[in-house]
C-alpha cells in the first residue's frame, strides 16, 4: 500500500442551483464515497470543502472545490501542494460528455477534451493526474453542450446514476491501491452484472 496520501477531488459548481446538474457528477461521486466510509466532517479549506479519512490503511482526502468549475485548479493545486501529494496520487472525478450516459473510464494523463475543470487543474498540476470519467452523454445538437451539462439529471437518468455512484464508492478501495483498471472493471461488473444462464432441462 502506498505511503503517500490520496487526494480524490470531485468536480462541480457550488450552490443549490447546480446541485443536480450533470456537470456536478464529480461532487455526487465524492459525496457517496464520504457517506460510505468513516470520513470526518467537511471543512472549509483550499477554496472548497475537504474531508479526511482512511480506506484500507491509506490516508485519503476528499475535496470539493468551491471555486466554480473553470477555476477548479485554484482549489486542487493548493491542496495537493499543502499535503505534498504528487499528481500520481491525485484522482479527479468529473462528468464526461464523450462517454455514453452510465459508462465510466479511469485513466492517467491526457488532454482536457474541452472540460474547463480539467484545463484548470492541468494548468496548476500538469497533466499527469488520474481521472475518473463519468459518462453523462451528449446532446444531439453539439451547439447545446453547455446547456446539456448545466441541465439537471432527469428521473430516467437516476436509474443508471444511483447504481453508478454506489458502484464507484464500493470500488474506491481499488483506487486506493492505485489499481485504476481493477476499479474500472469492478464498476462495470457492479453496474452490468452478468445475466444468469438459463438452466438446462434434463432430457426425459
Catalytic residues: 23
Confirm if 9 and 85 have CB atoms less than 8 A apart.
Answer: no
DSSP 49: E
CA angle 45, 49, 54 (to 5 degrees): 100
Residue that is written with C-alpha cell 492541468 in the block: 122
What residues pair up with 194 in beta bridges, in sequence order?
none
Phi then psi for residue 61, to 5 deg, are: -110, 135
CA distance 177 to 186: 13
Phi then psi for residue 53, to 5 deg, are: -160, -175
Return the C-alpha cell found at 52.
Answer: 479526511
Confirm if 138 and 86 have CB atoms less than 8 A apart.
Answer: no
Residue 15 CA, chain-centre distance (Å), reads: 18
Return the C-alpha cell found at 63.
Answer: 475535496
CA angle 137, 142, 144 (to 5 degrees): 85
Amino acid at each position: 500500500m502506498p505511503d503517500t496520501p490520496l487526494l480524490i477531488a470531485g468536480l462541480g459548481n457550488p450552490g443549490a442551483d447546480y446541485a443536480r446538474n450533470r456537470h456536478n457528477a464529480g461532487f455526487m461521486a465524492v459525496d457517496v464515497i464520504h457517506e460510505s466510509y468513516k470520513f470526518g466532517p467537511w471543512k472549509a479549506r483550499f477554496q472548497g470543502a475537504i474531508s479526511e479519512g482512511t480506506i484500507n490503511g491509506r490516508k485519503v482526502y476528499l475535496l470539493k472545490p468551491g471555486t466554480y468549475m473553470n477555476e477548479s485548479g485554484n482549489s486542487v493545486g493548493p491542496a495537493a501542494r499543502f499535503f505534498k501529494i504528487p499528481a500520481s496520487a491525485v484522482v479527479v472525478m468529473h462528468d464526461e460528455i464523450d462517454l455514453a450516459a452510465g459508462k465510466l473510464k479511469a485513466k492517467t494523463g491526457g488532454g482536457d477534451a474541452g472540460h474547463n475543470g480539467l484545463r484548470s487543474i492541468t494548468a496548476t498540476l500538469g497533466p499527469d493526474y488520474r481521472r475518473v470519467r463519468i459518462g453523462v452523454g451528449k446532446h444531439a445538437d453539439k451547439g447545446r453542450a453547455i446547456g446539456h451539462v448545466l441541465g439537471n439529471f432527469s428521473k430516467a437518468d437516476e436509474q443508471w446514476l444511483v447504481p453508478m455512484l454506489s458502484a464507484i464508492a464500493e470500488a474506491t478501495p481499488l483506487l486506493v491501491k492505485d489499481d485504476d483498471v481493477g476499479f474500472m472493471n469492478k464498476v462495470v461488473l457492479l453496474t452490468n452484472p452478468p445475466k444468469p444462464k438459463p438452466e438446462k432441462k434434463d432430457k426425459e
